[in-house]
Amino acid sequence: MNAPAYNFAYLDEQTKRMIRRAILKAIAIPGYQVPFASREMPMPYGWGTGGVQVTAAILGPQDVLKVIDQGSDDTTNAISIRKFFAKTAGVATTTATDEATVIQTRHRIPETSLHANQVLVYQVPIPEPLRFLEPRETETRRMHALAEYGLMHVKLYEDIARFGHIATAYAYPVKVNARYVMDPSPTPKFDNPKMDNCPALQLFGAGREKRIYAIPPYTQVVSLDFEDHPFEPYRFNAPCALCAAENSYLDEIVTDDKGGRMFVCSDTDYCEGRQAAGHHGSLSAAPYKEKAQEASNG
Amino acid sequence: MADQNLVENDEPLLVAKSLSKSFGRIAACRDASFSLYPGEVLAIVGESGSGKSTLLQMLSGQLAASSGHVSYRMRDGITRDLATLGEAERRFLFRTDWGFVHQDPAQGLRMAVSAGANVGERLMAVGWNHYGRIRDTASDWLTRVEIDTARIDDTPRTYSGGMRQRLQIARNLVTEPRLVFMDEPTGGLDVSVQARLLDLLRSLVAELHLAVVIVTHDLAVARLLSHRVMVMKGGRVIETGLTDQVLDDPREPYTQLLVSSILPP
């Protein structure tokens, strides 16, 4: 009765084989978008169907899986994908970046630096960096083939002309291995430098768009910019309110309707790790502070 | 230096040899041959369906000829057959040494990005990577085509027809091409705007020593801009010669008809 209803990691072996071939090609041509026969997955498009297929294709029984969504291990998307693979592949799961061998991510790269035995799988909504500049896919493919990337700078020019600085804050275009211009998926540009010369393998899966691309370990990844307007990662100028980290990417959380807000690390595992190590932010001892206040008031 | 210029001007820039194009049974263009020299303006005139646009597309490498050759003298001085150029080379030529002014500016411009970026695009495509310099060059060109530089950050959508056409010209000339193709550049503009545009084109052509192939059905445009005229009818070149000569003393009956159909001023 309890015979597994699914093949290991949900997808059948022929499909995984097809996806692995696409992944191998993608690794061989860093930054190049390889078409693949994307399958319907038991989740809606936009929820990581591409990332899930890539993860399913590379997952082995010994792997330890971590799934993050906007840096967080405990949002709906992250939990459901983690449960999905725990159920269909029976792999161990973790929230600790260090322990994971496969990390599927949506919109963030973990703060803890990755090591050589890890694979980072990105969920990609729109793989084509030139999409909103040149609507014809036939033309963008030709532009990639001929490395005609002047148009990408037109977008950055427009940003500066309109806002005085490069206002693109996420999905900031990068050039991989001095050849292909690539959309790093909607990660904040704060994370762009982490992609450069990264020891871990980075795989990108776009399910609806049926594309897979990759950055092999230790590959040069350069964010595009102008000489007089160089690339700058953006970060709120505040320490994390829970762990006082000064160098992590922050989420802004609105706490009331009077303009109150707090900034906390978007990477929950990193923040929790720091708190466990004894770092305290301005709001981390809030319950005790309240009690202290009550005591002094009473 | 002067001698070298002389030699350069002595050799044709663009040579067409018995160009023909047929679409199935329809021969759109038959056996067109000519040479274009640096700084020379050639007008191709004729009625709709006479094969003008087909010829222009073949000359600019956008359409493969059924027979015949087009060769172009590259910046390094070597004349090459366009058909033997790779796609990358052809596209590079198209956005550096050539310009193409469309009748409808929406075809030649990016309507959703600002005028500055429209002019700067070619510069960025050839590797300019300094925002300040790109912007200075763009605003310089806007001044040259008589567009108020205060409108550099507006998109061409907000421009009038005449301004769009002038912007398109600036966008094409920014890389200092040696050869510009124009397909009815004054079509759809009212008469006073046309006159201003023609005036501008004439001074730019002289100033930059441009070679131009201009397709038009408007003989007044041909008379104002061009040095030489080619008259086409039914896909054939029926008469060619100096502009004044052809327009003042037409030899072919069709050219006579064309010239006489202009309303006297």
Best interface-test mutation with B: which of A153, A224, A227, A232 has the largest number of B CBs within 10 A? A153
The owner of tokens 């959703």 is B112
ipTM of the prediction: 0.85
C-alpha distance from B30 to closest chain A C-alpha (Å): 31
Catalytic annotation present for A198: no
Strand partners, A226: A229
Catalytic annotation present for A31: yes
CB contact under 8 A, A228 and B91: no
Three-state DSSP class for residue A188: strand
Q: What is the pLDDT, as a whole number, of residue A2? A: 57
Burial of A245 (0-12, 13-18, 19+ CB in 10 A): buried
Q: What is the pLDDT, as a whole number, of residue A200? A: 97
Asked whether residue B242 carries a pLDDT value surpassing 60, the answer given is: yes
CB contact under 8 A, A154 and B124: yes
By C-alpha distance, the chain B residue nearest A224 is B129
| pLDDT per position as a tens digit, A105-142 | 999 999 999 999 999 999 999 999 999 888 899 999 99
Catalytic annotation present for A271: yes
Residue with the larger pLDDT of the pair A132 and B147: B147
A134 touches chain B (CB under 8 A): no
The dihedrals phi and psi of A296, each to the nearest 5 degrees, come to -70, -35
CB contact under 8 A, A154 and B110: yes
Q: What is the pLDDT, as a whole number, of residue B48? A: 86
Residue type, B56: L
Q: What percent of chain A has pLDDT over 90?
A: 87
CB contact under 8 A, B130 and A148: no
CB contact under 8 A, B117 and A227: no
Q: What is the pLDDT, as a whole number, of residue A1? A: 46
* Residue B1 pLDDT grade (very low, low, confident, very high; cuts 50, 70, 90): very low
- The size of the A-B interface in CB pairs under 8 A is 53
What is d(CA A123, CA A107) in angstroms, rounded to the nearest whole number? 8
What is d(CA A93, CA A100) in angstroms, rounded to the nearest whole number? 8
B83 touches chain A (CB under 8 A): no
CB contact under 8 A, A150 and B126: yes
CA proximity to B11, closest of B176, B178, B175, B172? B178
Asked whether residue B2 carries a pLDDT value surpassing 60, the answer given is: no
The dihedrals phi and psi of A114, each to the nearest 5 degrees, come to -80, 160
Asked whether residue B124 carries a pLDDT value surpassing 60, the answer given is: yes
B124 touches chain A (CB under 8 A): yes
Mean per-residue pLDDT over chain B, rounded: 90
Q: How far is CA B217 from the centre of its chain?
A: 14
C-alpha distance from B90 to closest chain A C-alpha (Å): 11
Q: What is the pLDDT, as a whole number, of residue B227? A: 94
Other CB atoms within 10 A of residue A95 CB? 18
| pLDDT per position as a tens digit, B159-193 | 999 999 999 999 999 999 999 999 999 887 888 88
End-to-end CA, chain A: 62
Three-state DSSP class for residue B255: helix
DSSP E strand stretches across A51-200: 64-69, 92-93, 102-106, 119-123, 174-176, 180-182
Q: What is the pLDDT, as a whole number, of residue A9? A: 92
Strand partners, B27: B22
Kind and range of the H or E element at A250? Answer: strand A250-254
What is d(CA B174, CA B122) in angstroms, rounded to the nearest whole number? 7
By C-alpha distance, the chain A residue nearest B111 is A133
Range B225-235 average pLDDT: 93
Residue with the larger pLDDT of the pair B197 and A298: B197
Mean per-residue pLDDT over chain A, rounded: 92
Of B88, B117, B129, the CB nearest to A154: B117
Q: What is the pLDDT, as a whole number, of residue A281? A: 87
* Residue A292 pLDDT grade (very low, low, confident, very high; cuts 50, 70, 90): low
Best interface-test mutation with A: which of B124, B133, B171 has the largest number of A CBs within 10 A? B124
A164 touches chain B (CB under 8 A): no
Asked whether residue A69 carries a pLDDT value surpassing 70, the answer given is: yes
What is d(CA A271, CA A32) in angstroms, rounded to the nearest whole number? 34
| pLDDT per position as a tens digit, B51-102 | 998 999 999 988 899 999 999 999 888 899 998 988 889 999 988 999 999 9
Q: pTM of the prediction? A: 0.86
In the set A50, A198, A265, A273, the catalytic residue is A265
Asked whether residue A21 carries a pLDDT value surpassing 60, the answer given is: yes
Catalytic annotation present for A48: no
C-alpha distance from A162 to closest chain B C-alpha (Å): 7
CB contact under 8 A, B124 and A161: no
CB contact under 8 A, A227 and B129: yes
CA proximity to A69, closest of A77, A81, A61? A77
Report yes or no: A173 and A129 within 8 Å, Cβ to Cβ.
yes
In the set A50, A51, A205, A240, the catalytic residue is A240
B90 touches chain A (CB under 8 A): no
Q: What is the pLDDT, as a whole number, of residue A289? A: 52
CB contact under 8 A, A227 and B124: no
